Structure 1
Amino acid sequence: MSGLLSELRQQVQGLLFISESESLLEPFELPMGTSAQTPSDFLSAQGLTSDQPVEQVTVPYFFRNMVREDVAGAELAQGFTALVQWLESNLQELTVYRLGNVQVQAYVVGKAENDQWLGLKTTLVET
């Protein structure tokens, strides 16, 4: 496990992403030599077929409600603000891929200095 992945695990401790459910944020890394630069690259690196619909959104858009104290509460908003700052400081080419409709698998992914792609995954429930 890379040092950044270990740091990321610490960053997400105690954080739950709130949609119509509450879900853990799970750090992950893609196999070395794979890419997440495009949706099809990401699907391929995850071993998924490219016929699956993928929505790509920005990191600020994805976390927009989680960093608002009036939505998430002060403690959670502070934790998510710190997480976004960590992601922006440590990863390049940050993006979010959303797979699915009602049970959405969301992947926040970026590239580390060593060209390793890593990030977070979570499940959102949107009815």
Structure 2
Amino acid sequence: MKELRTDLTLDSFLCLFDVMEQEGYELYALYDEDTIQALAGITIKTNFYNKKHLYIYDLVTTSKARSSGYGKDIMLFLQEYATKNNCQYIALESGLQRLDAHRFYEDKINFDKFCYSFRKEVIGNSLLTK
């Protein structure tokens, strides 16, 4: 997880994970022998535009194992998991700078790019700008 979420400390990870787990977050690891090669942090949600869906919050393959098939393997697991849980979609967001990840999603596992995601920090900011 540290390769994907470089700003997290062990303490912040554990604190956030505790809250996220209470909200339905699950973390899956793909091992090769005794070594984690890929991680996926997910939850199942329902909303108006994705209906019932599996949402991927975190998806990472270790830098040493990229292009070794682990990303595709964990995505196949997630697709099966989504199917067993009657999900209509698998959804995720990906940072604009992650071009290699975007190629993987679109070219290797056939995801559609269908929207932009926006956010605004609310602490100390006003809603409108001048």
| TM-score, with structure 1 as normaliser | 0.32
Greater gyration radius: 2
Higher normalized strand content (fraction of residues): 1
Point out which structure has higher relative CO (alpha carbons under 8 A, 6+ apart): 1
